[in-house]
Structure 1
Amino acid sequence: MTTVRDATIKLLRAFGMNMIFGNPGSTELPMFRNFPADFRYILGLQESVVLGMADGYAQATRNAALVNLHSSAGMGHALGNLFTAFKNQTPLVVTAGQQARSILPYEPFLFADRPTEFPRPFVKWACEPARAQDVPAAIARAYYVAMEPPCGPTFVSVPVDDWDQPCDPIEPRRIAAINPGDPVMLAEAAEALAAASRPAFVVGAGVARDDGWDEVIALAERHTAAVWVAPMSARNSFPEDHPLFAGFLMAGREAIVKSLTGHDLILVLGGPMSLYHVEGFGPHVPEGAKVIQIVDNHAQAAWSPTGTAIIAHARLALRTLMAGPSPVSRAMPKARAPVPELDGRVMTSAYLLQQIARHRPAGSVIVEEAPSSRGAMHDHLPIIDRDGFYTCASGGLGHGLPAAIGVALARPTDKIIAVLGDGSSMYAIQGLWSAAQLGLPISFVVVKNGRYEALNSFGRIFGLQETVGTQLPDIDFCALARGQGIKARRAMNAQELDEALTASFSASSPTLVEAVVD
């Protein structure tokens, strides 16, 4: 007899989803009866950590990851990182337990009331199957929808007594979801690009998601185009040491217009350009500039305030543009000014990031959640390798630490360096336990400034004389790490920092560096 559990496990195996991220509760236990030897359960000590680990893993593998949560309580804990996964366009299949169908009319203990509504609007599709026999089909559909661009999380609520019910097995199907883009509009874009006198590219996370690294470099070089990074981009899509790299657009209307002034064609690839964090006024683009954006997210195309939008897979669209007309002759864009080297007499976050860049192993991957240090990172820690950077697209905290664990699971031969603010770290500090138990050689580097500095910066924008609730005294990150099985060192000056980073980056087990900065 085939059970719902048997049919589901067979499906998950076919989808390459044999790693389950979870924190189990009572209503999930029957799912794991006779747990198969070729599957692996990755335990997190809190559901937001679980979902963050799965997010990092799914991004790094480019395949949906399976997350197992506990009813409403577990889903509630995970919602912050579910929001981030939705903004990251990360494919996830999230399941949660539900109480037995026979007692649902009595509102039993630890049941989920209206379970499919709770995770919305941050899932693409949600279902609690009408019958036990429909569970495998629901999970199959959840996978297909999660993997369809724009990718994102889906959700299935499963009553506890469904797993042992008999059902017919279902076979996995192949669904081609990649959109190459409208050929007429892409041809028009190629002609406009070839005719432009001073084009600029704005690259977003979609280029990295669609693995268009080589293609965007080739297209930029062919057209001698300055390449900017889209505001708040959560991935790296262009080498930051390339002669055509122009810098990072700020998330403000006036700042974007100022940076792009002088360009007559702006080609936005793989992400929104008009993503604002502060109120602005005036035009959205420089006067006389034509905007063409190529994204995989119809919502981004719809809310963009200006320009032509083409819905397409970035890598395929870039290949089409490469086959377009030859460009007019253009001069090289002005090179970025070099950043002065810091001497370390003052331990700033900028100096810390400079030293990370100096000591990091070749090919290492940066996972970042240090919002107040992002500008310094842009200047002092260039990302130069394909798929070399991950951060959260939502602005929510608590994603970076567990995401680094997920990326490390997906890329076991690469050194993963998690650059974390002290405030950000405390949202998911129990993730260190999972890293220790898994033996992953991650370097956790905590930028300890003793406050929520990003909020202090925004307080100045709003004219606040004092920003309340932003001080974080008396947190001992070394003690927190050692208490969870991780070796840790504190660095309070340049010499201690170099020694701590060198030891951490060469370690074969997880380590933490607490860098105390001014």
Structure 2
Amino acid sequence: MDATTTRTSVRTRTTVRTRTTVREATLDLLRALDMTTAFGNPGSTELAFLDRWPGDFRYVLGLQEASVLGMADGYARATGRCAFVNLHSAAGVGHALGNLFTAYRNGAPLVVTAGQQTRSLLPNLPFLGATDAAQFPKPYVKFSIEPARAEDVPAAIAQAHRIATQRPYGPTFVSIPSDDWSAPCHPVLPRAWYPDASPDPAALEEAARAIAGARRPVVVVGPEVDSEGAGPALVALAERIGAPVLASPFSSRLSFPEDHALFAGHLPAAPQAVSDALGAHDLVLVIGAPVFTFHVPGDCALFHQGIPIFQMTTDAEAASSAPAGTAILGSLRLGIPALAALLPEAARPLPAPRPRPPAPEAGTPVSAPYALHRLHAAMPEDAILVEEAPSHRPAMQAQMPVRRWGGFLTMASGGLGYGLPAAVGVALASPGRRVVCLIGDGSFMYSPQALWTAVQEGLPLAVIVLNNSGYGAMRSFSRVLQVRDAPGIELPGIDFVSLARGMGCPGRAVGTPEELDAALAEAMAACGPFLVEVALDSAVASLYDKH
């Protein structure tokens, strides 16, 4: 370490200040913050930071920045800790922007750094220079800065970490000129940080009175519950209320155990369908989700019917944008038990459990429901499912009930290219557990490079590609929007097993039920990554059917 020591004496008191470099101060800060795993794709503007890479740090290499960002997102969401990302200047940030948008919507805590040309070159529009670097990733970061002085870089990273880990979690961004790393600076000590705040007790008391007086309440739950580790407390609250529980539209994590007697299904992202599902109730309690996420236009009559809506969330933006209801801001980890303590035991009769669909019939070609039914049977009990097959989500929700908190992740943004790299990040964060990436053929092609990282890291990752030779979601939307003969929807001629083998990953293509079961068993037993390509029939369920 290149360090000098200066002593300043004030009367009889001596203050000792140790001088170091920006690079060493940053590495020490990252150690103190438990951020010694870095996700990156290196370039020339990052070499000064990567020089003599310390042995106690792990560098996870991605072959393209979208994969790098997605891997860090999956890692952060699986661990519940902030992840560190190192991108390459303006072009690298540009490559990562799609998954940065997804990370923002996912609420993934990330400190994203990017190299910048040396400060002396910046006035002359240099090669690889990022103009207004801090503006580039906005608005999909919570905080963005290129420090005015080299010596301010470690403090900027510390601030970015604090903001990223303040709920709602999200990515932050620091642009760092390449010559800053060798500049002298003072060390930066991490501060104690307890960002969770309890909801207003008066607001909880108002909600408790309304819930206790309701005859037919319903609970709508979202991904914030699992993100905060508040799942068991939520189950206890729902059982105390004695109300049916619905998962919020496009929930990106497990919202409620899907085999629980109170679980009533998943709300679709259509205004009329939401009104139909909730309109028969006399109180709606929304926990950890917006009110509500829609994807098609229409009138949500629920907002005009005067039915009380109480929303508990950590997200001030989601609360302020809600078109109706009473918002209660604050930690769900603290707020859910506090609300439960205010409620009497429910005297209302419990709702009847929803009927489970019958097992799909085997056939050739294989149907999506049958493939997902068999996948669910093949997965280990503690496996983690990472999904990016939006056209098959209704079938997945019917055939693959998720039971374990932390056992399911998908993207909240709707942008493709997240699923495979996120699954790699989740596997890195979950040693000893099988991770299953369920992905569509179109989705796979956005970030296939992530499979190479899984091979290099030897991850127990089963990649299940549902191949219907096209963008199935677009086929579904075309039906909903009454659009015909749209171009760019069909994707013939892609050999996913050959793509996987080219990156060192074994795989099998299957087209019959017998082949499917054998391939799934092989994938679940493999020591490293294994890909199964399933040729499906072309049937696609509507994304907005009630189910």
**Would the TM-score normalized by the shorter structure come out above 0.5?**
yes
Query: What's the offset of the Cα at 1:468?
Result: 1.2
Question: 1:282–1:167: structure 2 CA closer, same or farther, 3 Å change rule?
Answer: closer
Q: Distance in 2 between matches of 1:249 and 1:282?
A: 13
Write out per-residue CA displacement over residues 382-423 of structure 1, whole angstroms, 9 at most, x where no aligned residue: 101111100000000000000000000111111100000000
How many Å separate the matches in 1 of 2:497 and 2:304? 49
Cα distance in 2 for partners of 1:312, 1:486 equals 45
> Match for residue 393 of structure 1?
412
In 2, distance between residues paired with 1:130 and 1:232?
Answer: 40
Deviation at 1:104, TM superposition (A): 1.1
| Partner-residue secondary structure (3-state), 2:317 | helix
Q: Which of the residues 192, 199, 207 maps onto 1:189?
A: 207
Q: What is the alpha-carbon distance in structure 2 between the residues aligned to residue 421 and residue 385 of structure 1?
A: 24
**69-78 or 181-190: which moved more?**
181-190
In 2, Cα distance between the equivalents of 1:139 and 1:288?
A: 47
Moved over 3 A (4+): 284-288
174-183 vs 300-309, greater mean Cα deviation: 174-183
Would you say the 8 A contact 1:455–1:467 is kept in 2?
no
| AA at the equivalent of 1:126 | S
Matches within 5 A, 1:416-455: 416-455=435-474
Q: How does 1:118-517 map to 2 (within 5 A)?
A: 118-285=136-303, 287-346=305-364, 347-517=366-536
2:85 is paired with a residue whose SS is strand
Decide whether the 8 Å contact of 1:284 with 1:305 is kept in 2: no
Seen in structure 2, the aligned counterparts of structure 1 residues 325 and 463 have a Cα distance that, compared at 3 Å, is: closer
Letter in 2 for 1:331: P
The question of whether the paired residues in 2 share the 8 Å contact of 1:301 and 1:309 is answered with yes
Whether contact under 8 Å (1:448, 1:515) holds in the other structure is yes
Aligned equivalents of 2:24, 2:300: Cα separation in 1: 59
Kept in 2: contact 1:257–1:286 (CA 8 A): no
Aligned residues between the structures? 518
Scaled by the length of structure 2, what TM-score is found? Answer: 0.93
AA aligned opposite 1:217: V
Aligned-residue offset at 1:334: 2.7
Counterpart secondary structure, 1:96: strand
Give the Cα–Cα distance (whole angstroms) in 2 for the partners of residues 417 and 89 of structure 1: 22
What are the superposed Cα offsets for residues 356-396 of structure 1, whole Å, 9 maximum, x if unpaired?
11111111110000010000011001101111100000000
- The one-character-per-residue Cα deviations of 1:178-204 (angstroms, maximum 9, x if unpaired) are 021111101111222222111111010
Aligned amino acid, residue 265 of structure 1: L
Unaligned runs of 5+ in 1: none
CA-CA distance at 1:467 after TM superposition: 2.2
In 1: Cα distance, 2:534 partner to 2:304 partner:
41
CA RMSD of aligned residues (A): 1.0
1:85 alignment partner, SS class: helix
SS in 2 for 1:367: strand
Opposite residue 198 of structure 2, the aligned amino acid is P
Structure 2 gap segments, 5+ residues each? 4-19, 538-547
Match of 2:540 in 1: none
The answer to whether the 8 Å contact 2:240/2:346 transfers is no
Q: Distance in 1 between matches of 2:80 and 2:43?
A: 28
Residue in structure 1 matched with residue 53 of structure 2 by the alignment: 35
Give me the whole-angstrom Cα distance separating, in 2, the residues matched to 1:284 and 1:157. 45
3-state SS, counterpart of residue 336 of structure 2: helix
Distance 2:74 2:274 in 1: 29
1:98 aligns with 2:116: yes
* 1:273 shift after superposition: 3.3
2:314 aligned partner, one-letter code: D
Amino acid at match of 1:338: R
**1:117 to 2:132 alignment:** no
Q: Retained in 2: the 8 A contact 1:447–1:514?
A: yes
Matched residue of 1:284: which SS?
helix
Deviation at 1:288, TM superposition (A): 4.5
The answer on whether the counterparts of 1:243 and 1:335 sit within 8 Å (CA) in structure 2 is: yes
Partner SS, residue 466 of structure 2: strand
Q: Deviations over 1:220-244 (max 9, x none)?
A: 1111110000000000021100000
What is the distance in 2 between the residues matched to 1:135 and 1:192? 50
Could you tell which deviates more after superposition, 363-372 or 333-342?
A: 333-342
Counterparts of 1:218 and 1:428 in 2: how far apart (Å)? Answer: 40
Larger radius of gyration: 2
Measure, in 2, the Cα distance between the counterparts of 1:258 and 1:327.
28
Identity %: 49
Alpha-carbon deviations, 1:50-88, whole Å to 9, x = none? 000000000011111011001100000000000000000
- Relative to 1, partners in 2 of residues 1:282 and 1:244: Cα closer, same or farther, differing over 3 Å? closer
